[in-house]
Structure 1
Amino acid sequence: MSDPNIIVAREPSGGPPLGLGTYSTMRWAVNNPPADPSVSFKGKTVLVTGANAGLGFEAAVKYSALGADKLILAVRTAEKGETTKKRVLERTGRESSTIAIVLVDLTTYESVRAFVAAVEKETPRLDIALLNAGLGNPSYEAAPSGREMALQVNVLSTALMAILLLPLLRTTAEVAGKRPHLTFVNSNGHSMAKREWFNKTGSLMETANEREKWDANKSYILVKLMGVAVARAIARATAARGNPPPEVIVNVVCPGFCKTELGRKFNLASHIIMAPFQAIFARTAEQGSRSLVSATALGTESHGRFWTHDILHPFGDLAEDDGLMQRTWEEVYREINQDGRLDGILG
C-alpha cells in the first residue's frame, strides 16, 4: 500500500526531451507543468520563507489545503504576514489557528537568529522547512553586512537559517519517527555559470560580491550556483546521521521559469519587455509551486539532489566540481560563523 505522505521520485528519462534549445525547453515546460501534488501533510508543521508572494504564497496555499496542522509564514513585516494569512485562509477555508506568522529580515544575521528563536518558541516540531525567499536586483546594492544584497539574502542568510533550523528538524525526526525535509529553492540557471566569469581570486563569493564588474544576469546565476554549494554541503553533513541515515532529507528544487515578483525592482521598461516573454515562456506561480511542494514530500532518494520537471535531474557542470563547491562552502561557512556559534551544529 502506498504512503499518502510520500512522492516516489522518477529518475531521467522524463523532463524535456534531449537536444532541445533553451527556448524550446522553456516552451516544453509551459506545456508540461509539474503534477499537482495530492499527498497529505496532515500532522505536519511546515515553514515557508518568502511566503507573501509568488511561489512561496502558492506553496503556502497548497500546504494549507493539503492539511498541514501548522503553517508558519516567514515574512518581513506583520502587515504582509496578516495579509498573506488572510489570503491563504480565503483560498483554503482552514481555521485561523492553523497559520502562524514569524517575522524575518534576511538582510541581517541578527534577524535570522531572532527568527529561528521565535520559530522554536512557536512550535516544538518542524517537519518541513521550505527555504524559498530570494531577490533579484537590477543594480548592485549592499546589505548591512557589506556583502552584495542577493548574495546576502539568497546565500549567506539562507545558509545561516538552514543550519540554525537543523536542531529543531532533528528533534522532530526523533519524536515523529519520520525524516523532516529541508528544501532549498534554486534554479536550473546555476548550470549556466562559466568559469571565465570568476575574478582573479577564483572565488565564487568574491566574484559575486565584486561591485565594479557586477552584472545582474551573472549575479543571479553565480548566486544560484553558490546556493547549490550550500545545500549539498548541508546534505553531506546530515547524510551520515540518523537511524537509518539521513536524519533530515535535504534537497534542491527548481520550479522552472515562472511569472513571479522576483524582478519587482526592475524599471518599467524592463517589465514591458519581459511581459510578452513571460506570456510565452513562463509557467504560472501556482504551477511552479507544485515542484516546491512535491520536493518536500520526496523520499531519501532525493537527498542531496536536484528536483525539477518532476524528475531528479543532474546538477550543472560547475556544481559537480567538488573542489569548487567545497571551497565555496568553506567561504560561506567562515562568513556566517565568525563568532563560532555554529560550531557543533552540523556535526
Structure 2
Amino acid sequence: MAEFFNFLYSQLFVKLPYPTHSFSGQTIIVTGSNTGLGLEAARHFVRLDAAKVILAVRSLSKGETAKESIETSTKRKGVAEVWNLDLGSYESVKDFAKKAEGLERLDALVENAGVARVEWSVLEDNEATITTNVVSTFLLGLLLLPKLRETGQKFNVTPHLAVTCSEVHAWSPMKERKSENIFDALNDKETANMGDRYQISKLLQVFPCRELAARTKQSGKPNVIINYINPGLCHSELARDAGFGLTVMKFFLARSTEAGSRTIVNAVEGGEETHGQYLSSCQVSPPGPLVRGEEGPEIQKKVWNELSAKLEKIQPGIMGNV
C-alpha cells in the first residue's frame, strides 16, 4: 500500500528536472526509440550535443520517421541513426551487438524497449514478455559490456548501462520464486498469471541489474555505471498490449512522454553514486519490499544463476564478459 501512495504522490506532485547536461562527443544507443520514452530520450541526447544516437528499433520505417522528427525538432542532422533490433529474436540481438562492436566508441546503452502482454504468446524459448523484457535485455547488455569498458579506457570516461524498469516491480508477489526454476515456472501456460506478467518481468530486471552491478564492481575490470530506472506512468505505446485498466489509469495519472524521458537522461548523467541503484523520479530510491527484504539476496542469486545459464546456452562464454 505504501508503494501505491508513493506512486500517486510522484505522479501528481513531483516535477522532474529538465536535462541540460552535455553529451558532446558521445555515442549512445537507445532501444525502443521509434516512439514513446525512447524517442523522447533520444531527442534529448541529440539536443544535448551527442555525436551519434542510435535508434535501435524493430521497425526500420518507424525508426526513420522518428529520426526525421528528431532532426526537425533539434535542427541537427547526421546524428541519429536507425538500426534494426528485434528483442524477440536472439539472433537479431547478437547481430545488433556485433554491429555495435564496430563503433568507434559506445558511451551509453539505454535498454528501454519492452512489452506488456496480457495474452499468452511465445518468442524463442520463453513467454514473449520474459524473452523481450528480461532475457534479450540482458543478452544485449552483456554482449556490449566489453565495448562499454573499452570506450571507458580509450576515452577516459565512465560509460553507462541503464535499464528502463518500473515501480510495478514492487507490486509482484513473485509466487514463482518458490519453484525449483523460476523461468521454467513462468513458461507454464496452464499456471501463468498474465495479470502479473509485466510486473514480474520488471522484478526480473531489478535482481540481475543489482547482481551485475555488484559483480562488475568486484571484477577489477574498468567500471561501467549500471542503474535501473522508474520513469513513472507515462503516455507511451506500452498500453497497446496491456489492456483497458492501464489505459484508464494513464488517462488520469500519466506524465507526458517527454517528462518521463527525463528520468532516462538523468540515469545516463548519473555518477558512481547511482551504480547498482534504483532511480525513481531522478532520485536514488529503495527498490520494492521483496528486493530489500530478508528473502531478497537469496532470490537475487537464484534469478542470476538461472538467467546466467540461459544466456550461456544462447551465447556460450558470455558470462565471461562480467
Could you say whether these structures have the same fold, taking a TM-score greater than 0.5 normalized by the shorter chain as the test?
Answer: yes
Distance of 2:178 and 2:17 partners within structure 1: 44
**Is the CA contact (8 Å cut-off) linking 1:204 and 1:222 kept in structure 2?**
no
Q: How far off its partner does 1:259 sit?
A: 1.4
Equivalent residue number for residue 119 of structure 2:
139
Residue of structure 1 equivalent to 2:260: 288
- After superposition, the C-alpha distances for 1:178-210 in whole angstroms (9 at most, x for unaligned) are 110000110111111225x22762543233322
What residue number does 2:238 align with? 262
Counterpart of 2:303, as a letter, is: T
Asked whether the equivalents of residues 257 and 283 of structure 1 are also in contact (C-alpha less than 8 Å), the reply is: yes
Q: 1:229 aligns with which of 195, 207, 214?
A: 207
Map of 1:1-347 to 2, 5 A cutoff? 22=4, 25-95=7-77, 97-121=78-102, 123-143=103-123, 145-195=124-174, 197-198=175-176, 201-241=179-219, 247-266=223-242, 270=244, 274-320=246-292, 321-338=296-313, 339-346=315-322
Give the direction of change, closer, same or farther, for the CA distance of 1:28–1:111 in structure 2 (3 Å limit): closer
Q: Distance in 1 between matches of 2:5 and 2:286?
A: 20
Post-superposition shift, 1:139?
A: 0.8
Structure 2 length-normalised TM: 0.93
Contact kept in structure 1, 2:308 and 2:319, CA below 8 Å: no
Alpha-carbon separation, structure 2, partners of 1:159 and 1:63: 23
Whether the 8 Å contact between 1:63 and 1:71 is mirrored in structure 2 is yes
Q: What CA deviation, in whole Å up to 9, does each residue of 1:71-116 have, x standing for no partner?
A: 0110112212211111111111102x21222111111111111001
2:192 alignment partner, SS class: coil
* Cα distance in structure 1, aligned partners of 2:17 and 2:178: 44
Compute the displacement of 1:174 (Å). 0.3
* Of 246-255 and 126-135, the range deviating more from structure 2: 246-255
TM-score, normalization: structure 1?
0.86
CA RMSD of aligned residues (A): 1.9
Deviant stretches of 4+, over 4 Å: 273-276
Between stretches 289-298 and 310-319, larger displacement belongs to 310-319
Distance across 2 between alignment mates of 1:288 and 1:184: 14
**C-alpha distance in 2 between matches for 1:126 and 1:21:** 35
Structure 1 CA distance, aligned partners of 2:196 and 2:168?
10
The structure with the greater share of residues assigned to helix is: 2
Query: Equivalent residue of 1:307, what SS?
Result: strand
Structure 2, unaligned runs of 5 or more = none
Matched to 2:69, the amino acid is R
Distance 1:21 1:297 in 2: 26
Query: In structure 2, how many angstroms separate the alpha carbons of the residues matched to 1:313 and 1:112?
Result: 31
Residues 25 and 188 of structure 1, relative CA distance in 2, 3 Å threshold: closer
Conservation of the 8 A alpha-carbon contact between 1:48 and 1:73: yes
| Equivalences, count | 318
Counterpart residue identity of residue 237, structure 2: E
> How far did residue 276 of structure 1 move?
4.4
